[in-house]
Structure 1
Amino acid sequence: MEQILADLFPRTEVPYPVILARMVGAIVFGAVIGAEREYRDHAAGLRTHILVALAACVFALLALESVHMASFSDEQVRIDPLRVVEAVTAGVAFLAAGMIVFSRGEVRGLTTGAGMWLAGAVGLSVGLGYWFVGFFATLACFVVLFLLGKIEQRYGAAKADEAAEK
């Protein structure tokens, strides 16, 4: 029984409660970023941003742990955690690019794509243990999406009224 538990829960460099806290943090921060997109009824909303942030967090945790795995301790095996960051960045950018469309002379989905990219960065930050970076990026994203979005709406409405008067 002890061996089964050891196989299911191998010794990790980062303690399991910390791993769990980082994953929950990525979920919460991803939800904050995705909430505004959900509120505006965009295709990539709450669930998408949560999944992007959580996936990035898991990749970061795996990168951290892989450096310390006994099976990778051979001199011929070289682990570079930075490659995980690069792969997550490229993968999320690919997903985000899929959100951007050009329709009727307008570009749509650019902000949603940027939000997904940021959700990936926030997930990596939290997964690597940089809580402050993840928190501040989430806060800044909230300000940009909600507050600047409101200003943009007001300015857009005023601009439309001005165009109608001409």
Structure 2
Amino acid sequence: MDWIEELRILPGVLYAMALGGAIGFERELKDRPAGFRTHMLVAGTAALLLGLSRMVLEDGHYAGRGLQIDPLRLVEAVVAGISFIGAGTIFARRGGRGVEGITTAASLLAVAAIGITVGFRYHLLAAAITVLTLAVLTVLRWFESRKPADAGAPPK
């Protein structure tokens, strides 16, 4: 395979990193345990792994050698790996104050899914999911902050 061919997945990885970075920037602004760089790396790595699997499947060098790659298995592997990172963000903020970091762990899973979506070349869908994720993290947080302090307390 020509080295130029190897670079064809790079724009997708960069795009996934940019989308993940947008979500990571929001987490960074809120001083969460996983921020800008972490979200970029998760999204970019997911896109790279899926793009690489597509590239290997299309490579004539491996034709007829019995090589099989199931993209859905690769998705499962990405999700399993992100689970460990997500668990780390939850434990990182525990400190006796209850469990914190669950939303950041969920945002890491979301950017992994965005990277996977880019890796499958569904660029518009990835952008739409990024916008929806940012809406959940910002707009819904704004609505939560407007809730009266005793709204969840049982009546006396």
Q: Residues 154 and 104 from structure 1, CA distance in 2 versus in 1: closer, same or farther, beyond 3 angstroms? A: farther
Q: Distance in 2 between matches of 1:130 and 1:56?
A: 13
Q: Distance in 2 between matches of 1:24 and 1:80?
A: 24
Deviation at 1:106, TM superposition (A): 1.9
Unmatched segments (≥5 aa) in structure 2: none
**CA deviation map 1:73-118 (0-9, x unaligned):** 2353322222211111111122112211344352100000000011
Q: How many aligned positions are there?
A: 152
Q: Which residue of 1 aligns with 2:60?
A: 70
TM-score scaled by structure 1?
A: 0.81
Amino acid of the structure 2 residue aligned with 1:138? T
Q: Which residue of 2 aligns with 1:132?
A: 124
Deviation at 1:162, TM superposition (A): 10
Q: Which residue of 2 aligns with 1:3?
A: none
Q: Residues 162 and 128 from structure 1, CA distance in 2 versus in 1: closer, same or farther, beyond 3 angstroms? A: closer
Aligned pair 1:144/2:136, yes or no?
yes
Deviation at 1:33, TM superposition (A): 0.9
Task: Tell me if structure 1 keeps the 8 A contact 2:28–2:36.
Answer: yes
Deviation at 1:153, TM superposition (A): 2.2
Q: Which residue of 1 aligns with 2:108?
A: 116
TM-score scaled by structure 2?
A: 0.85
Amino acid of the structure 2 residue aligned with 1:41? D
Q: Which residue of 2 aligns with 1:85?
A: 75
Task: Tell me if structure 2 keeps the 8 A contact 1:100–1:108.
Answer: yes
Task: Give the share of equivalent positions with the same residue, in percent.
Answer: 36
